[in-house]
Amino acid sequence: MWRKQLVAPSWPWPCCQPQDRLRCLRWMPGCTRTTWSGCWRLLPRLLEMCTPSWTEWSGSIVLSYVAGIAWFLALVFPPLTQRTYMSENAMGSTMVEEQFAGGDRARAFARDFAAHRKKSGALPVAWLERTMRSVGLEVYTQSFSRKLPFPDETHERYMVSGTNVYGILRAPRAASTESLVLTVPCGSDSTNSQAVGLLLALAAHFRGQIYWAKDIIFLVTEHDLLGTEAWLEAYHDVNVTGMQSSPLQGRAGAIQAAVALELSSDVVTSLDVAVEGLNGQLPNLDLLNLFQTFCQKGGLLCTLQGKLQPQDWTSLDGPLQGLQTLLLMVLRQASGRPHGSHGLFLRYRVEALTLRGINSFRQYKYDLVAVGKALEGMFRKLNHLLERLHQSFFLYLLPALSRFVSIGLYMPAAGFLLLVLGLKALELWMQLHEAEVGLEEPGGAPGPSVPLPPSQGVGLASLVAPLLISQAMGLALYVLPVLGQHVATQHFPVAEAEAVVLTLLAIYAAGLALPHNTHRVVSTQAPDRGWMALKLVALIYLALQLGCIALTNFSLGFLLATTMVPAAALAKPHGPRTLYAALLVLTSPAATLLGSLFLWRELQEAPLSLAEGWQLFLAALAQGVLEHHTYGALLFPLLSLGLYPCWLLFWNVLFWK
């Protein structure tokens, strides 16, 4: 019956021959192709028949954005957040007896270290070597130097040189094929003497035990993260940051896990754990679970983001407190900064944490013995590992230490936001197709298509100019601030760091003049179709960037999507242009960074004034550029080479003439 209908004489589309109708994919007006390979316009025609109205498009876009925000806020409620659990069988039990009792010895080491450091004005390398040898370690040193791209005014350094000291406790029961690391970073402005004392006391205690199956490295680094990066590069025999350092004379096995320790006094009220590493990397969740387990066993108060854990998740107070902790983690992870020495270990596939002793809760007090027992228990359980930590999650969010959100549950939030860009791009594509069909078939008369004059079409060539100019602005934003700092200091009374920041702001603001440049080289004979085609390309470009970022650093991708997606969807040269321009400026990458700083300090219950926020913003710009050139942080190149040029495309669309 169906075949008879196809060959009936009343066939309404005479463009298709009867013998080819069964093979034709497009039985529609204007079809001149009857083969599968020739029907390249099938999808637009099919979509044209079921294109929703403008109201339906707007409703779907708004609903998708609201769904993304609501999904993220719902992550702190028990249906989506889950209790943490240990996945690694070798660490599933805490049945080890911690025997550390060297609190007095740790305090004595700390006093001696502080005295020698004050006397020498730098890291007391000779005293550390002598003390480590006295407790039975193989002791080695490593010298390093690094010239920063411009002076670091936060830490007051430019030409950096220092020495790392490390001692190796060889495993008596195995060959040196695997190792663990306990590290203490020592900066010029940090008071970490108590952590060095506890490290030496633990080394002396571990030296008397016979159950170690892995080497243990006790590492004291100078100049904080710079010393840690120099040691890691030398240990793995790579050079990714241009660090100049001496080769290591002593090595242990492949590093399985590392713990960085920071203590400012011999009595702490809690141990705060930092998990965010370089470029948003996170350690295996089992390592965090191990820390929490031994804190609970020893009655030691542990915190995350400096916040206590919610006790009652059934009422609204628990999820609200968890939301505050979750937002703090999102902001810190989105920054891409290594929030502790552990953040550099993660680059080398070494699971690591940073433990900080804080004194914010006066009703709790713990001495060095309690902290030492927790560290001893962690190292004894890590000593049981037969392989690297891999069974638990590497991608997660933490509303509390006892709760986590896995990647399968938080990615839909970013997916809904990116769906807004997809729907808007599809709407623009349909509008462009309808305009093309209207030009091809004036009056709706069937027949072969009439080719358009060159002046009526918008080809890809017309979009090359705005794309190239936008990318050129992004390249200038990435390259010129550091290269032109010396020129700026010669002509203006500013320091090198100030010159870098001011050049960044000048180039960023100069991009606002971009529409006046691109319109000189873009044809204006089809203006409406021109801006729609450019916005279509910009939407796809933005969606691809945010999607790739969200896969590797969800916090950064979600934060940028939350701010940039609404302005990107609304940008057009018609309507309230002033309102759209204000929205674009307020959701630009720089404004997002500024707003994140205010939100971060507000969540930390230390709000900023406008002047303080602006100074912190300028310092954050300098640190972002410096950390990219020093450690390889990717936030600065992502914003300058990717998102800023894409934002300029929407700015160009808004002021299209």
- Could you read off the pLDDT of 221-273 as tens digits, one per residue? 998 899 999 999 999 999 888 889 999 999 998 999 999 999 988 888 889 99
The pLDDT of residue 359 is: 83
Of 185-199, 270-284, 445-459, the range with the lowest mean pLDDT is 445-459
How many other CB atoms sit within 10 Å of the CB of residue 185?
Answer: 24
The pLDDT of residue 616 is: 93
pLDDT tier, 22 (very low <50, low <70, confident <90, very high otherwise): very low
Is residue 420 within 8 Å of residue 64, measured between CB atoms?
Answer: yes
**Spatial distance between the Cα atoms of 126 and 128, rounded to a whole number of angstroms:** 5
Tokens representing 256? 């399985």
Would you give the distance in Å from CA 426 to the centre of its chain?
A: 29
Rounded mean pLDDT, 136-146: 93
What structural domains and CATH numbers belong to the chain? 101-401 (3.40.630.10), 461-655 (no CATH)
pLDDT over 90, % of the chain: 51
**Spatial distance between the Cα atoms of 488 and 466, rounded to a whole number of angstroms:** 29
Is residue 300 within 8 Å of residue 243, measured between CB atoms?
Answer: no
pLDDT at 15 over 80: no
- What DSSP assignment string belongs to 35-55? STTT-TTHHHHHHHHTPPPHH
The pLDDT of residue 363 is: 73
- Could you read off the pLDDT of 280-302 as tens digits, one per residue? 999 999 999 999 998 888 888 89
Tokens representing 120? 């020498």
Closest to 593 (Cα-Cα) out of 550, 622, 551, 554: 622
One-letter amino acid at 218 equals: F
